[in-house]
Chains A and B, each alone.
Chain A
């Protein structure tokens, strides 16, 4: 198990390294560079050249990459070229805000997705099954920016129950802080719940039809016990995989949701950085998101082993 874990960790480090090369390569190909952005629309060529000189953008690409890389190895992610402040605190603060948003949405997607999936499976082809289907399909078929704006109009503008956007400050009280999270979290959850609920439903239906569930029922075990103890544990395996993949989706959706709700998170910071070709900021943001995704998959694999001892890794299974 330890060996497996170590191997995976090394894999993740390699993936991140390749990612950083890719991101660097892409920013080199993109038209324009940070100097043209800093100099602005009215700049003449000599001003752009002077800024390029100041930022070392004329050095060969490998040298520029090395400068960045040698800093990161010792934990120095450099300065944002546009904002002229250190990258790390900027990224970490934005990431913390996003993590709260994404974390809450993820918990809700997991809990409600699985619950709805199980309900739909148990009540296959009855009214509640169809209701769950319709609800989750509506969520996934319409993009999050639409639901976000609908939520603002209904709950902020007309009902006046919740703020229209922004992030709360804990100094203003817990409730004020939570109230800023409600609409973005609901929007994120609603647009993601279909993946989990649909998959849980179909895998649960398969499991409920299997031999061993019939045996359990034949033994006279109560239905609730059969569903929770026997069927669900097995039915959850594909759901775990899809939850790990959903972490990636969540990161994508959060960019849009943060913009709609004026929420200061990593998605908007990254968009800001990309628009301005601010390489140190782009690199740090992308690497952080990639790392989260890699670790989500690692955790999924470990959970897989927990739920299904047949596929435990390394020597633990023997």
Chain B
């Protein structure tokens, strides 16, 4: 009797599995992201999850490859004046928005002006402070005149928030996105899923190869891991580093890990004692073992670095030796600064940012060795942004990859940088000079030399301790082909297939 019952239950369960996995059209990729998205309005996006959609549904004037280069996207070509102040872009002819209307230079102008408007609140606005005037030359040509020479201008037009929108649909793009990208919006069920379908008129012939994409919103990593193992999902974006272990040696799942310039750092505020003393900052930097930090905070998925310029980047200064832990020198510097008997500090950590929390715990242990007693205090994110960043003396913070070296470095290290005063109040006249020269330089070799010099300068006079840049890890099933993790954590699925 019992046996029959179990048998019946088993049969029922098997039948359920067969019926619960809905039959999908060939070429539908099912991927998972951890967090709900706020908006489809590209100008207002701020989350990695939202950026994925910015690239699937929209296109930019240019495309940054994440390795320091820039390629055409909607602009087929461009020229810059010798002084790097006048930039003229020529659009690809005949590109159509998803609603069938043709793209014109007016759309580009309206998109950029909207990003530059403070009331839009776009995080990309500061990058476009350099723009003085925008002129339409004809239907497919647009000219930007800048206030200062700026060699990276083509690159910032490939950024996440400046994807080109149709000028007559700006007010509805938050809920009914219309772009020129490889995939078109089909449906959004908040908290559950986003469905996209192939754009048959995409301007690159033969792309995209997928017919449709289903993006599931799954906050719990155990659920993501389970769904990927059973084939309910094809791809998990930005897998939490702590769940990597479960896929090691798995035959069905491929782990694709790529170095990024996303960084975490121990921020020391030069406006707050004892960190106003460069010797104290240097002592803290010297007490950190960067390689150990990668193991502890990132489970090995990262690379030690000097600054946010990652070792994989051509501008990384590889001749400069990586700072090694030197406890004796750290102690000597502290004694010199008048802290021979030790120092008591509070290290603030943002709640719910696991890599930074782990970095803080490891830092406390390292600092103990040189006589710094760091009390850890975890702070909710809202409070952290409002009361800690730029105000407290010592805290753990971190920032995502940005598309160009200038936008990754200048806002943080230049004394007038937009983020400097909200971070560590760092002032170094020599660094200012180098960074100003680098953004105006048209030659890639010259820029490389300047950024290498910058790394040496902040190595000697650290603003904080940046132990590593993180890897970005995607996990996908064997049946997914033609997918590569992006160093910007974005997602390009034009070449991807699934069978």
Contacts and interface: CB of A to CB of B under 8 A. Distances in A.
A65 B382 CA distance: 23
Interface string A166-209: 11110011011001100000000000000000000000000000
Interface string B35-73: 010110100101000000000000000000000000000
A156 B230 contact: yes
Interface in A258-285: 258-265, 268-269, 272, 275-277
Contacts of A83: 38-39, 174-175, 190
A164 B226 contact: yes
A165 B123 contact: no
B121 interface: yes
Contacts of B223: 152, 156, 164-165, 260-262
Interface residues of A, number: 64
Contacts of A259: 219-220
B125 interface: yes
A161 B123 contact: no
Contacts, number: 160
Interface stretch (A33-41, A223-231, A308-316): A33-41
A50 B383 contact: no
A47 interface: yes
B230 A160 contact: yes
B17 interface: yes
A163 B119 CA distance: 43
Nearest to A267: B191
A84 B121 contact: no
B174 to A, nearest CB: 4
A149 B190 CA distance: 23
Interface residues of B, number: 51
Interface string B203-241: 000000000000011111011111101101000000000
Contact of A40 (B46, B189, B190, B232): B46
Interface in B164-189: 174-175, 189
Given A153-B226, A259-B219, A264-B190, A161 B411 contact: no
Given A152-B226, A161-B16, A261 B191 contact: no
Interface of B: 13, 16-17, 19-22, 36, 38-39, 41, 44, 46, 118-119, 121, 123, 125-126, 174-175, 189-193, 216-220, 222-227, 229-230, 232, 381-383, 385-387, 389, 399, 411, 418-419
Given A36-B385, A268-B191, 11 more contacts: A39-B123, A41-B389, A50-B121, A94-B191, A152-B220, A165-B227, A180-B20, A258-B191, A263-B191, A264-B217, A268-B219
8 contacts: A42-B419, A47-B121, A51-B121, A160-B230, A164-B226, A164-B230, A172-B22, A272-B191
Interface of A: 30-32, 35-36, 38-44, 46-51, 53-54, 82-85, 90, 93-94, 148-149, 152-153, 156-157, 159-169, 172-173, 175-176, 179-180, 258-265, 268-269, 272, 275-277
